[in-house]
Chains A and B, each alone.
Chain A
Amino acid sequence: MSMHRREFLQLLAVAAAGGLALHNGGAEAARAGEAFYDLPRFGNVSLLHMTDCHAQLLPLRFREPSVNLGVGAMAGQAPHLVGEHLLKRFGIPPGSAEAHAFTCLDFTEAARNYGKVGGFAQLATLVKRLKASRPGALLLDGGDTWQGSATALWTRAQDMVDAAKLLGVDVMTLHWESTYGAERVKEVEEKDFAGRIDIVAQNVRTTDFEDPVFKPYVIREINRVPVAIIGQAFPYTPIANPRWLTPEWSFGIQEQSLQQAVEQARAEGAQVVVLLSHNGMDVDLKLASRVSGIDAIFGGHTHDGVPAPVVVANPGGRTLVTNAGSNGKFLGVMDFEVKDGRVADFRYRLLPVFADLLPADAEMAAFIQRVRAPFAGRLAEPLAHTEGLLYRRGNFNGSWDQLLLDALMAEKEAEIAFSPGFRWGTTLLPGETLTMEQLMDQTAITYPWTTVTRMTGAMIKTVLEDVCDNLFNPDPYYQQGGDMVRVGGLQYACEPGAAMGRRISDMRLDGKPLEADKLYTVAGWAPVAEEAREAGEPVWEVVARYLRGRGVVPLVTPTQPVLKGVAGNPGLI
């Protein structure tokens, strides 16, 4: 099923020879796409899975990481494989379309060859095709659907709520959705989604009496087979994001209550039990080894495009653990063969969504145009021309983050800047025009305020150690799933495999060691403390001002920490 560049280009050439631009959904393009997406049906129960689209309605570019280190037992295991290491492990031919989708290898050139990925109109076409070839199939959405774009922020997620309904999402769970506040989430659940989309989250309870906030699971019949879909919202929402936005909700992993939900669903007749999870893949892998009775985990949060499921043994049997990437780049297709009341066999594919191979669904395309129209002027404002590749994803720093840090330090006259290690944010190729829309792709959150703080060297070290432990704690249950805080102005060394409090060393500012007792001016954004509400102007205003004043962004080389003890780790190229 893999497709090499030559074949891919031939398909496009065939389509073009037909006199039809691919983007217009011509018949030739449709045939080319059909060849690529021809996926024979298997079994009798199919589940489609998308996750972490981060409100990206239009086709885009998204560079996968070149640094995604696993430590301890996770070293060298999926999902901690990048570049050729990932290709080798999963048997993907180098240079193929899939190699481009799953890795960052030769990114700029490959992105120009294979075109954009994702897009809700293209995804809609693929979902419709798969639902047609797999009667009864359900579409599961792992969350992080309502956040990540200007239009989602400016409509309080209404664009994505309506797009999810139009796409035919059946069941979803949550993470960034909660950053619109508890009331907004409940409003969507009770009004917009009523009778259409179920929100499931077994691990969200009230802080006072531990009453459930959402349905823990739903049971749907697929070809007369009862299938339970249990929800697992991001366990660390009130820690990684502002707690004051959901002050009465408690999250956590909640293994025991999950085990109870599995048993209850089985007792109610479910023959297939799956977990729609926003835990992140490392947490899902540990969870799968400790909770019994789950056939598959459809995971997200860590944005890992993992081509094949990891099979995890547990006291009750085995659980398939998947992770379906991000930004609408992929659609997971799980076909189960259910016999004698249990899953007997399966087939899984994580399909890359190549926008040029999928004609836009007319209804979805019209919807997207309509919902963007009121904002068209603001979105299209050109801010600068970029001479280099701008990307974010990776454990330590990306060129987009470096640009945000440079802007923060310059505009706020700070010696050091911090920017959160988010894993969302689209990619720009060299030579492209950076618009307000793309700046918002990196910054559109409901707590975008900038901060300027005087911090001692000791405090800075504490912050770096704390965030680093959230990324590299050898026990996945103590990880939060983001990447390392991006650091501007300051050089440091990092040893991911060291113990908490001992990973960060050799911190230097302009070549001089940082002093523990000295105060430094530190700029940042996205404060989670309620006291920091409205602290300073939104970060996009600061960065837009910086960019407008320059016009051209020269090649940005992200400052990386000196890494120790990771030589030979296949999570690094």
Chain B
Amino acid sequence: MDHKRRDTLKAGGGLGIFGLLVAAGLIKPELAEAAWNKSAFEAKNLESALAALGAGKPGDSAEVQLNTPDIAENGAVVPVGVVSKLPNTEQIAILIEKNPNLLAAKFEIPAGTAAEVQTRVKMGQTSDIYAVVKADGKFYVTKKEVKVTLGGCGG
């Protein structure tokens, strides 16, 4: 196992990932502020979340890839990644259908940036996860079920 990366970061102290990204110039803090969409993040059902994103009824697209585990190892930190191969991808949103607030994350993709994002989400129960992508002004969606189980009893 490559321990070096973790050890370097630990040694780096309390900067945290966000701090490191800012320090490295990868993201600017004001980006997050500017993109805040209150009504979308407070939406309680799929329809209103999509409406608040301005997505309406997005079409299915095989060009949007959603990378998640099939069964969550830990519902508190479920890794979710989205890759969009659609040209001119501007925005990627991640929605967890059964979460109290569906919208877990919204990423603005600056022009010329590879449309590939990854985050961790919290899930209380088995649910469909939706990746909603805005490209060339149009919305596309792909979904996948992620199971959250009680565990035990295997093998």
Contact = CB atoms under 8 A, between A and B. Distances in A.
Asked if A and B are interacting partners, one says: yes
Q: Among the interface residues A239, A252, A475, which one has the most CB atoms of the partner chain B within 10 A? A: A239
B150 interface: yes
Given A209-B5, A252-B69, A422 B155 contact: yes
A175 B1 CA distance: 18
B149 A256 contact: no
A528 B151 contact: yes
Interface stretch (B18-26, B53-61, B70-78, B104-112): B70-78
B149 A470 contact: yes
A61 to B, nearest CB: 20
Contacts of B13: none
Given A206-B6, A209-B5, A209-B6, A421 B69 contact: no
Given A208-B6, A256-B67, A478-B147, A470 B1 contact: no
B70 A480 contact: no
A226 interface: no
A437 B77 CA distance: 40
A449 interface: no
Contacts of B71: 236, 239, 478, 480
B153 A470 contact: yes
Given A480-B154, A482-B155, A238 B74 contact: yes
B152 interface: yes
Contact of A481 (B1, B149, B154): B154
B2 interface: yes
Max count, chain A CB within 10 A of own CB: residue among B126, B150, B153: B153
Contacts of B5: 209, 211
B1 A466 contact: no
Interface in A312-334: none
Interface in A412-436: 420-424
A467 B73 contact: no
Contact of A482 (B2, B72, B79, B154): B154
Interface string B71-94: 111100101000000000000000
A211 B67 CA distance: 17
Contact of B73 (A176, A239, A470): A239
Contacts of B147: 469, 473, 478
A138 interface: no
Contacts of A234: 154-155
Nearest to A280: B155
Contacts of B70: 252-253, 475, 477-478
Contact of B1 (A213, A237, A482, A527): A213
Contact of A240 (B2, B6, B67, B153): B153
A240 B73 contact: no
Interface in A256-284: 256
Interface in B106-155: 126, 145, 147, 149-155
Contacts of A478: 70-71, 145, 147
B153 A467 contact: yes
A212 B73 contact: no
A273 B145 CA distance: 31
A252 B73 contact: yes
Contacts of B152: 240-241, 420, 467, 526-528
A186 interface: yes
B151 A239 contact: yes
A350 interface: no
Nearest to A303: B155
B154 A239 contact: yes
A237 B153 CA distance: 11
A432 to B, nearest CB: 26
Which of B5, B72, B73, B152 has the largest count of A CB atoms less than 10 A from its CB?
B152
Nearest to A419: B153
Contacts of A442: none
A144 B74 CA distance: 23
A251 interface: yes
Nearest to B67: A256
A422 B149 CA distance: 17
B154 A466 contact: no
23 contacts: A186-B1, A208-B6, A211-B2, A212-B2, A237-B154, A240-B152, A240-B153, A240-B154, A240-B155, A243-B74, A243-B151, A250-B79, A251-B73, A301-B155, A463-B150, A466-B149, A467-B152, A473-B147, A475-B70, A478-B70, A480-B149, A481-B154, A482-B153
Interface of B: 1-2, 5-6, 67, 69-74, 77, 79, 126, 145, 147, 149-155
